[in-house]
Amino acid sequence: MLRDFFLGSIKIHILWHASIEPIYGAFLMEELSSHGYDISPGTLYPTLKQLHKDGLLRKYEEKVEGKVRKYYVITEKGKDVLSEGKEQVRELAEEVLGRDWRNDNHE
C-alpha cells in the first residue's frame, strides 16, 4: 500500500520537473534521491514510459557523449494533471499537517 502512495508522489514530482525543463532518467534518479526517494531504474524507467504512454510526457532523443539519451517534457495534458495533483497535495498537507503547516515550519 505504501508503495502506491510512493509512486503517486514520484509521478507528481516527475511532472513538476518536466514542466520546468526537459528531464532524463539519470537526472531524475539523482534529483529524487536528494529528496529521500530510494527509486531503482526498474521503477523509474517504466514510470516514465507509462507517463509517456498516457500522454502526460512527450519524449525526444538526443545523442550525448556518443549515447542516445531520452528526454521528456510535459504535455498540455500533463500540465492539467500536474495542476490537479498539486491541488490534491495542498489539500492533503493542510488536512494532515494543519492549515498553517507552512507557517509552522518557518518559525
In terms of residue numbers, what domain contains 7?
2-105
Task: Report the CATH number at residue 69.
Answer: 1.10.10.10
Which pLDDT value is given to residue 82? 96
Counting the structural domains of the chain, the total is 1
For 1-54, the pLDDT digits (tens) are 566 777 788 999 999 999 999 999 999 999 999 988 888 999 999 999 999 999
Classify burial at 43, counting beta carbons within 10 Å of its beta carbon; exposed 0-12, middle 13-18, buried 19 or more.
middle
Q: Quick: pLDDT tens for 77-101.
A: 999 999 999 998 888 888 888 876 6
